[in-house]
């Protein structure tokens, strides 16, 4: 079912952060440049980070408990919009993300929404369309166009936590997020409880609503996503499967494969695999022993729109596209900085005469920067060597950059 065109309703974007101020600053810089006509940003962060980006009119709440579900409920309590969207602090939202993600909520049948998530390189896919099973497995399926989808055989659409939105009143009706999931499967539990309570409710899958998701170090993992402790994953998996009638045994196979991939890549000591698997088994045992019931009624912190809506000025900026060889990076960045200062969106394409794969990052100055070889791959499915001349390559990548969700564009060459 295709979503009908409509104006994006008011939206509260909720960001939860704990002890990652540098990633948070980049996340907020991208959120401040969204094209959504009416949105606010709610920040729930540790006391040292909650005051970051003081020039932005954010709603702020200090919260330093290592439990993302409880932190998200704090954000919901501050939200004043009928739709609440969520993004992780180590993710960067492309400019059209919030508008594309929330537009389907103009249809009252839509209770949830999710977009497509790019990996740390900014170009490959980390997650697209998936359904969630009662065992906590996300099963991918092919989808290229926006769609409104109902659960199938008790399996709802999976809304990845760093790129999702919900109708606020519906989320509150099922009790919000469950603190029994401090980390891992927290939003998947919401998906399953929404499915049980509203079996005819629709979830919007919006390929154009895109974020770039990094793998920042955090509780239980080091850099590059290398696990340091799997207890929480095991605990959450066992609780999830017991609650929703699934089987968590698959988790041990999946996590072992994950560890072996890190080991083969040289990121994990081979002697660390067995101890890490032991933490996973300990977490599974702990979760099976707990089996807490799902929340009932509104979260204790929830309020009925008690706070005023505090909008960020959404706009449709011009898009300044700049391309040049990597040795001209300095002058191109100066041009991009001027464009950003004028309120525009800027993308720099920096190329080398090589076959290096491309990466997309957001620079500290607020512009997007794509780096790679003239003959290197830049999209999923590209061959390792992508033969193309300079002008055709610039035209292709300019088209890629317009997928950021910006409605108008201007081109420049460095």
> Using H for helix, E for strand and C for coil, what is the string for the chain?
CCCCCCCCCCEEEEEEECCCHHHHHHHHHHHCCCCCCCEEEEEEECCCCCCCCCCCCCEEEECCCCCHHHHHHHHHHHCCCCEEEEEECCEEECCCHHHHHHHHHHCCCEEEEEEEEECCCCCCEEECCEEECCCCCEEECCCCCCEEECCECCECECCCCCCEEEEHHHHHHCCCCCCCCCCCCHHHHHHHHHHHHCCCCEEEEEEEEEEEECCCCECCECHHHCECCCHHHHHHHHHHHHHHCCCCCHHHHHHHHHHHHHHHCCCCCHHHHHHHHHHHHHHHHHHHHHCCCCCCCCCCCCCCCCCCCCCECCCCCCEEEEEEEHHHHHHHHHHHHHHHHCCCEEEEEEEECCCCCCEEEECCCCCEEEEEECCCCCCCCCCCCCCCCHHHHHHHHHHHHHCCCCCCCEEEEC
Tokens of 370: 């794509």
In this prediction, what percent of the chain has a pLDDT beyond 90?
A: 72
Average pLDDT over the chain, rounded to an integer:
90
**Measuring CA to CA, which residue among 179, 123, 126 is closest to residue 301?**
179
Instruction: Output 100 or 411, whichever has higher pLDDT.
Output: 100
Q: What is the pLDDT of residues 200-256, one digit of tens each?
A: 999 999 999 999 998 766 666 666 778 999 999 999 999 999 999 999 999 999 999
Q: What residues contact 330, with CB distance under 8 A and at least 6 apart?
A: none
Residue 315: the pLDDT is 58
**Measuring CA to CA, which residue among 43, 77, 81, 46 is closest to residue 59?**
43
Residue 402: the pLDDT is 52
Q: Looking at domain 11-218+233-243, which CATH architecture does it have?
A: Alpha-Beta Complex (3.90)
Checking if the pLDDT of 403 tops 70, the result is no
Residues of the chain with CATH 3.90.550.10: 11-218+233-243
Q: What is the pLDDT of residues 337-389, one digit of tens each?
A: 998 888 788 889 999 999 999 998 877 777 889 999 999 998 888 899 988 89
Q: What is the pLDDT of residues 105-142, one digit of tens each?
A: 999 999 999 999 998 888 889 999 999 999 999 999 99
Predicted structure pTM score: 0.88
């Amino acid at each position: 079912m295709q979503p009908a065109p409509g104006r994006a309703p008011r939206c509260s974007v909720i960001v939860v952060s704990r002890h990652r101020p540098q990633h948070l600053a980049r996340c907020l810089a991208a959120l401040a440049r969204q094209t959504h006509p009416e949105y606010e940003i709610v920040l729930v962060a540790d006391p040292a980070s909650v005051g970051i980006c003081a020039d932005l009119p954010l709603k702020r709440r200090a919260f330093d408990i290592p439990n993302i579900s409880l932190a998200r409920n704090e954000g919901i309590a501050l939200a004043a919009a009928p739709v609440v969207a969520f993004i992780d602090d180590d993710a960067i939202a492309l400019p059209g993300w919030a508008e594309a993600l929330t537009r389907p909520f103009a249809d009252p049948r839509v209770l949830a929404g999710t977009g497509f998530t790019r990996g740390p390189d900014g170009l490959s896919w980390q997650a697209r369309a998936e359904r969630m099973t009662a065992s906590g497995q996300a099963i991918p399926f092919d989808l290229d166009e926006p769609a409104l989808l109902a659960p199938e055989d008790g399996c709802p659409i999976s809304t990845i936590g760093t790129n999702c939105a919900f109708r606020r009143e519906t989320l509150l009706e099922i009790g919000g997020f469950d603190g029994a999931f401090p980390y891992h499967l927290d939003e998947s539990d919401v998906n399953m409880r929404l499915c049980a309570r509203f079996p005819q409710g629709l979830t919007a899958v919006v390929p154009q609503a895109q974020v770039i998701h990094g793998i920042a170090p955090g509780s239980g993992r080091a850099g590059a996503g290398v696990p340091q402790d799997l207890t929480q994953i095991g605990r959450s998996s066992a609780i999830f499967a017991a609650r929703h009638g699934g089987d968590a045994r698959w988790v041990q196979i999946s996590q072992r494969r994950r560890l072996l991939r890190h080991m083969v890549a040289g990121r994990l000591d081979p002697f660390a695999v067995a101890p890490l698997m032991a933490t996973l088994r300990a977490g599974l045992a702990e979760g099976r022993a707990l089996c807490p019931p799902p929340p009932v009624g509104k979260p204790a912190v929830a309020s009925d729109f008690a706070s005023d809506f505090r909008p960020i000025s959404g706009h449709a900026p011009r898009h300044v596209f700049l391309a040049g060889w990597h040795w001209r990076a300095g002058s191109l960045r100066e041009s991009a900085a001027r464009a950003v200062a004028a309120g525009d969106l800027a993308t720099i394409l920096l190329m080398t005469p090589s076959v290096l794969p491309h990466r997309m990052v957001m620079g500290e100055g607020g512009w997007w920067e794509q780096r790679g070889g003239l003959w290197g791959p830049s999209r999923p499915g590209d061959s390792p060597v992508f033969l193309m001349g300079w002008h055709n390559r610039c035209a292709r990548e300019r088209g890629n950059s317009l997928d950021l969700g910006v409605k108008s564009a201007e081109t420049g060459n460095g």
